[in-house]
Amino acid sequence: MARYVLRRAGQAAVVLLGVSLIVFALMQLVPGDPVRVALGTRFDQETYDALRARAGLDQPLPVQYAQYLGNALTGDLGVSFRSGQPVTASLLERLPATLSLAGVALLIALLIAVPLGLISATRSGKVSDYVATVFSQIGVSIPDFWMAILLIVLFTSTLGWLPPSGYVPFTEDPVDWLAHIVLPAVTVGVVSGSILTRFVRSAVLESMGQEHVRTATAKGLPGSLVLRRHVLRGALVPILTVTGVQLATLLGGVVVVEVIFAWPGLGRLTYDAVAARDYPLMQGAVLMFAAVFLLVNLLVDLLYAALDPRIRY
Amino acid sequence: MSDQASSQAPEAPAAEQRFQTLRAVLANRLAVVGLLVLAALVVAALFGPQLAPYGINAIEVEDRFQSPSLDHLFGTDELGRDVFSRVLVAARVSLQVGAIAVGISLVAGVTLGLVAGFYGGRIDDVVMRVMDMLFAFPAILLAIAILAVLGPGLTNAMIAIGIVYTPIFARICRASVLSVREEVFVRAARSIGASDFRLLRLHILPNVLAPIIVQTSLSLAFAILSEAALSFLGLGVQPPQPSWGRMLFDGRGFIEQAWWMGVFPGLAIFVTVLAFNIVGDAMRDALDPKQRSVIESRGQS
Number of folded domains in chain A?
Answer: 1
Residue A270 within any structural domain of the chain: yes
Those residues whose C-beta lies under 8 Å from the C-beta of residue A163, and which sit 6 or more positions away, are A156, A179, A180
User: Distance (Å, rounded) from C-alpha B273 to C-alpha B262?
Assistant: 17
Residue B28, phi then psi, degrees to nearest 5: -90, 110
For residue A18, list chain B residues with Cβ-Cβ distance below 8 A: 129-130, 132-133
For residue B151, list chain A residues with Cβ-Cβ distance below 8 A: 31
Q: Testing the interface with A: which of B37, B141, B249 to mutate, by most A Cβ within 10 A? A: B141
B148: nearest CB among A15, A249, A274: A274
Average pLDDT over residues B57-82: 78
Contact A293 B138 (CB under 8 A): yes
- Structure confidence at residue B296 (pLDDT): 45
Those residues whose C-beta lies under 8 Å from the C-beta of residue A160, and which sit 6 or more positions away, are none
Taking CA–CA distances from A27, the nearest residue in chain B reads B149
Rg, C-alpha atoms of chain B: 22
For residue B133, list chain A residues with Cβ-Cβ distance below 8 A: 15, 18-19, 22
pLDDT-derived band at B110, boundaries 50, 70, 90: very high
For residue B281, list chain A residues with Cβ-Cβ distance below 8 A: 137
The alpha-carbon gap from A288 to the nearest alpha carbon of chain B, in Å, equals 10
Contact status, residue B196 vs residue B161, Cβ threshold 8 Å: no
Q: What sections of B83-239 are H helices per DSSP?
A: 83-119, 121-135, 139-150, 154-164, 166-180, 184-191, 196-198, 205-232
Q: Which amino acid is at A161?
A: W
Residue B10 within any structural domain of the chain: no
Contact A14 B129 (CB under 8 A): yes
- Structure confidence at residue A135 (pLDDT): 86
Contact status, residue A233 vs residue A310, Cβ threshold 8 Å: no
Q: Is B23 exposed, middle or buried (0-12, 13-18, 19+ CB in 10 A)?
A: exposed
- List residues bridging with B76 in a β-sheet: B82
**DSSP designation for A78:** -
Residue A263 within any structural domain of the chain: yes
Q: How far is CA B84 from CA A83, B38, B127, B249, B267, in A?
A: 43, 18, 46, 16, 12
Positive or negative, the Cα torsion across B101, B102, B105, B111?
negative
CA geometry: angle A188, A191, A193, nearest 5 deg: 100
10-residue stretch averages of pLDDT, chain A, 313 residues long:
79 86 82 70 77 74 85 83 85 89 92 88 80 86 89 83 81 86 92 86 80 82 79 78 77 85 89 84 87 83 70 56
For residue A38, list chain B residues with Cβ-Cβ distance below 8 A: none
User: Distance (Å, rounded) from C-alpha A97 to C-alpha A168?
Assistant: 9
- Structure confidence at residue A312 (pLDDT): 56
Contact status, residue A139 vs residue A127, Cβ threshold 8 Å: no
Is pLDDT of B8 > 70? no
Residue B214 within any structural domain of the chain: yes
The alpha-carbon gap from B135 to the nearest alpha carbon of chain A, in Å, equals 8
- Structure confidence at residue A274 (pLDDT): 84
Contact A271 B266 (CB under 8 A): no
Residue A56, phi then psi, degrees to nearest 5: 70, 20
Average pLDDT over residues B47-75: 78
The alpha-carbon gap from A67 to the nearest alpha carbon of chain B, in Å, equals 21
Q: What is the pTM of this model?
A: 0.82
**Which of A74-78, A286-290, B12-16, B225-229 comes out lowest in average pLDDT?**
B12-16
Q: Testing the interface with A: which of B33, B37, B140 to mutate, by most A Cβ within 10 A? A: B140
User: Distance (Å, rounded) from C-alpha B115 to C-alpha B103?
Assistant: 18
For residue B31, list chain A residues with Cβ-Cβ distance below 8 A: none
Q: What sections of A84-222 are H helices per DSSP?
A: 87-122, 127-141, 144-151, 174-208, 211-218
Contact B144 A19 (CB under 8 A): no
Percent of chain A residues past pLDDT 90, beyond the cut: 7
Percent of chain B residues past pLDDT 90, beyond the cut: 15
How many beta-carbon pairs below 8 A join chains A and B?
Answer: 152
B133: nearest CB among A22, A198, A260: A22
Of A219, A245, A243, A223, the residue nearest A232 (C-alpha): A223
User: Distance (Å, rounded) from C-alpha A125 to C-alpha A57?
Assistant: 62
For residue B150, list chain A residues with Cβ-Cβ distance below 8 A: 29
Q: Which amino acid is at A272?
A: D
Output b/e per residue, A213-237; b: 16+ Cβ within 10 A: beebbeeeeeeeebbeebbbebbbb
Domain limits for position A198? 88-210+238-295
For residue A15, list chain B residues with Cβ-Cβ distance below 8 A: 129, 132-133, 136
Residue A98 within any structural domain of the chain: yes
Contact A293 B136 (CB under 8 A): yes
- Structure confidence at residue A111 (pLDDT): 93
pLDDT-derived band at B301, boundaries 50, 70, 90: very low
- Structure confidence at residue B39 (pLDDT): 92
Residue A194 within any structural domain of the chain: yes
Residue A99 within any structural domain of the chain: yes
Contact B135 A248 (CB under 8 A): yes
A143: nearest CB among B133, B234, B270: B270
Average pLDDT over residues B41-64: 80
User: Distance (Å, rounded) from C-alpha A208 to C-alpha A235?
Assistant: 9
Contact A252 B301 (CB under 8 A): yes
Residue B8 within any structural domain of the chain: no
Is pLDDT of B6 > 60? no
For residue B293, list chain A residues with Cβ-Cβ distance below 8 A: 199, 202, 238
Those residues whose C-beta lies under 8 Å from the C-beta of residue A67, and which sit 6 or more positions away, are A56, A59
User: Distance (Å, rounded) from C-alpha A166 to C-alpha A154?
Assistant: 17
User: Distance (Å, rounded) from C-alpha A286 to C-alpha A80?
Assistant: 14
- List residues bridging with A79 in a β-sheet: A86
User: Distance (Å, rounded) from C-alpha B245 to C-alpha B240?
Assistant: 13
pLDDT, one tens digit per residue, over A54-106 is 767 777 888 888 888 888 888 888 888 778 888 899 999 888 888 889 999 99
Largest CA distance in chain A: 83
Residue A206 within any structural domain of the chain: yes
Taking phi first (over 0 means left), then psi (-120 to 50 degrees means alpha), and beta for anything else, what does residue B52 get?
A: beta
User: Distance (Å, rounded) from C-alpha B132 to C-alpha A199?
Assistant: 21
A249: nearest CB among B228, B259, B300: B300
Output b/e per residue, B130-147; b: 16+ Cβ within 10 A: bbbbbbbbbbbbbbbbbb
Q: Round the average pLDDT of chain B to a whole number and report it.
A: 81
Residue A154, phi then psi, degrees to nearest 5: -75, -55
Of A27, A14, A13, the residue nearest A285 (C-alpha): A27
Query: What would the DSSP string read from start to end of A191-204?
Result: HHHHHHHHHHHHHH
Residue B4 within any structural domain of the chain: no
Contact A138 B232 (CB under 8 A): no
User: Distance (Å, rounded) from C-alpha B259 to C-alpha B65?
Assistant: 10
A282: nearest CB among B145, B259, B297: B145
pLDDT, one tens digit per residue, over A273-301 is 888 878 888 888 888 888 888 888 788 77
Domain limits for position B191? 15-300
The alpha-carbon gap from B148 to the nearest alpha carbon of chain A, in Å, equals 6
Residue A73 within any structural domain of the chain: no
Contact A195 B296 (CB under 8 A): yes
Tell me: cis bond preceding B68? Omega within 30 of 0 counts: no
ipTM surpassing 0.85, yes or no? no
- List residues bridging with B82 in a β-sheet: B76
A252: nearest CB among B134, B138, B150: B138
- Structure confidence at residue B292 (pLDDT): 46
Residue B66, domain CATH? 1.10.3720.10
Residue A232 within any structural domain of the chain: no
- How many Cα atoms are found within 13 Å in the side-chain-facing hemisphere of A241? 14
- How many Cα atoms are found within 13 Å in the side-chain-facing hemisphere of A76? 10
Taking CA–CA distances from A158, the nearest residue in chain B reads B256
For residue A138, list chain B residues with Cβ-Cβ distance below 8 A: 274
- Structure confidence at residue B108 (pLDDT): 95
- Structure confidence at residue A256 (pLDDT): 86
The alpha-carbon gap from B10 to the nearest alpha carbon of chain A, in Å, equals 32
Residue B48 within any structural domain of the chain: yes
Q: Testing the interface with A: which of B132, B134, B232 to mutate, by most A Cβ within 10 A? A: B232
Number of folded domains in chain B?
Answer: 1
Contact A157 B147 (CB under 8 A): no
